[in-house]
Structure 1
Amino acid sequence: MRKIMILAITLSLTVTAVSCKKGADKIGNAVLNLGGEAEANAIIDFNNNFIDSYKNTSKHIDGVLRYADAAVAKAKGEKVLMMPLVLNAMDYTFAKIKEIPSGFKKDKASVEADFIIYKTKKENIEKKFDELKSYINSEDYKDDKGAKAEQIKKELNADADAFFTAGENLMAKIKPATDAAEEVVLKDHPMKEYIISSKNLMNSLDSVIDLLGRQYEGKFNEAEAQKKYDEFAQKVEANSKLDFNVKDPQYSSKKTQFENFNRNASNFLDTYRKLIRDSKEAGKIPNGDIQQIDSSYETVLNSYNSFVR
């Protein structure tokens, strides 16, 4: 169940992973309580860096917990053909977060408190993972019959729970400020219409992923899945019908990326229809289908990020 839960969380990350920061004039404090472009950009930078860190670290932690499960089994004498390969966390953006932006105003202290927990648990997990690898590689489990492996696994699970709780709290707290910051920087942006529409599409996709994550853990509900499909299909159709007509040469080349984003969103619908059909027959969402949805989601997300950068 641990792996399934984290898969669902991982799928739902970074709906607004990259926000557009160009084309803004300075605006006073009266606008959304932000002090203008500089303060808005600081919030957007924090949002982008944190969510990218959270996404990549979540996948890494998923691997660590799978390794811990196998480590306990091996230490207890069960047959484990191969220990899970845990890739290094490609978390290059975490180091870019130097401080909590002042633009969070009254929420800054609360954001900072959750971020400290996030950072601490992230570091704890890495240390305990290294300790567990040393224990397994040296075959120290032959001395204590796996007792240490069980203890480390218990600690890893507790730290992972705290990590994800802090991460979800941060996501919820920084979103309103990020949305406000985007309104500031998009005030006169040549691509405002297309960015807002595309973001709405991604928000709908996030809702789809959240539903499928919950149904993957539990019972497949065709009516709910179809309703979300229809809602997302409407967003894809609306976005695809927009005629990208930006004259500014700085952004006119974005037309190809906008079309690619819409094409990938349409391809996601193909994958989604297959999942609904297969899940209806099986009575649950098959592993292969959720993996295909995950891959298709990543493709849509990456093309969205490329478009708005």
Structure 2
Amino acid sequence: MKKPLIIAGVLLFSFSVISCDKLEKVKAKLSQNDTSQVNPFSVNSGDTNRDIISFNNKVVKMDDEQSDFIKDFQSILIQMEDYVKNADANPQFSGVVPIFTPSVMMYTRQELKAPDVLGKDFQALVDKMKDTMIQLESLKKELDTYKQAEDWKDDKGKKVAEINEKAIKLIKKNRTAANDLFIRLSPKANKAEIEVLKDHPLKTQIIQSREIMELAQKIIDDSYDVTDMNAYQNKFSQQYLQMEKLYNRNISEKIPSSEKQKESSYQAFNNSVNDFLGKMRIVQRSLNEGNQELNRNLDNLEREAGYVLDRYNTFVD
């Protein structure tokens, strides 16, 4: 089964449980109808719906960036702990020292202000997400220095355990803040999106495509939270049938001639969904056979879900 993302075997909660659900933070379509009274470059443009959707989009990008950083840091901590244990037990151990990938924190470092219409509580949650992430980045640099100096030869891994403990607390604070933020923001963003789309010529295609994209993300989220394999297998089968139904509905919906420039991106999105269905069939076979390829096949499915999300964003942009 797909392994929950944990820190060095110590973190007791699944990352997917505390991570803000991607279903709650999809990228919404910005209004294309500007007026002389609206300043689209301002946090408070004068268009409430535009301001909420714009803020939502920026937070989504920041959260995706932070989630990727956390997963990478968790993986490094696990690898580092294993390496130090093996090196301490066997002085002749010749395993590969964990490689630290460069941190890319573009959105976290950018100024991000909540529009006045949302209030100060939203800004406080954004600031907490950014502050905890900066502290986590500092911990990663500290761990890198520890690795480069080979200090585990002196402290037998004590520093790794200390960094791990600090990281657990910071990650929990970061994910809790993100979850709280999207619980509050999602209803407002969804309402704003509906208002923006009410007269849009591609309203049906966008709403239907969003439903597909959300289901793909939920399928992945569910793979991280399995306690009963039989129940999960049945659920996965039902999700496949649901996805296939939504896909067939989408491909039957044509792009109007007035929006022909969107035809290729709509087709690309539908193609990515078809590929996702193919990967689902592979996972289904692994579940039915109980073979050892299940984890790898779920990884491939998760990667395909990322393509579905990317193609959706390209379509609605």
For the pair 1:150 / 2:161, whether they are aligned, the reply is yes
Alpha-carbon offset, residue 36 of structure 1: 8.8
Aligned residues between the structures: 294
- Check the 8 A contact 2:18/2:172 in 1, yes or no: no
Structure 2 residue 109 is the aligned partner of structure 1 residue 100: no
Paired amino acid for 2:229 = K
2:131 matches 1:131: no
Q: Which amino acid aligns with 1:159?
A: L
CA-to-partner distance for each residue in 1:19-41, whole Å, 9 max, x for gaps? 21133477xxxxxxxx9972222
Alpha-carbon distance between aligned partners in 1 of 2:111 and 2:257, rounded to the nearest angstrom: 33
Pairing of 1:65-104 with structure 2 (within 5 A)? 65-76=74-85, 77-78=88-89, 79=93, 81-104=95-118
**Cα 1:80–1:168, aligned 2, differ >3 Å: closer, same or farther?**
farther
Matched, 1:299 2:307: yes
Out of 56, 74, 77, which is 1:47 matched to?
Answer: 56
Q: Which residue of 1 aligns with 2:122?
A: 111
Q: Given the two structures, how large is their TM-score scaled by the length of structure 1?
A: 0.84
Deviation string, structure 1 residues 145-204 (Cα, Å, up to 9, x no partner): 221221111111221122122222222221111111112222322222211111122222
Deviations 1:59-105 (A, max 9, x none): 2211112212232333441547223334334343334442112232x
Show the counterpart of 2:283: 275
Shift of the alpha carbon at 1:110? 3.1
Q: What is the match of residue 265 of structure 1?
A: 273
Structure 1 140/85 Cα, relative in aligned 2: closer, same or farther at 3 Å? closer
TM-aligned CA deviation for residue 2 of structure 1: 5.5
- RMSD (Å) for aligned C-alpha atoms: 2.7
Deviates more, 1:180-189 or 1:264-273: 180-189
- Which stretch of structure 1 is more off in the superposition, 43-52 or 262-271? 43-52
What per-residue deviation string (whole Å, max 9, x for no partner) do you get for residues 249-289 of structure 1? xx421111101101111111111111011022117882111
Alpha-carbon distance between aligned partners in 1 of 2:214 and 2:63, rounded to the nearest angstrom:
18
Whole-angstrom distance in 2 between the partners of 1:118 and 1:284: 37
1:167 is the counterpart of 2:151: no
Matched, 1:183 2:197: no
C-alpha spacing 1:96/1:38, structure 2 compared with 1 (3 Å): farther
Report runs of 4+ in structure 1 exceeding 6 Å deviation.
7-11
State the secondary structure of the residue aligned to 2:72. Answer: helix
Q: 1:16·1:199 contact (CA, 8 Å) conserved in 2? A: no
- Of 253, 262, 265, the residue aligned with 1:254 is 262
Contact 2:65 2:107 in 1 (8 A): no
- Is 1:38 aligned to residue 52 of structure 2? no
Q: Does 1:121 align with 2:132?
A: yes
Which letter does structure 2 place at the counterpart of 1:208?
A: I
- The normalised TM-score by structure 2 is 0.83
Q: 63-72 or 271-280: which moved more?
A: 63-72
Structure 2 residue ranges without an equivalent (≥5): 7-13, 36-43
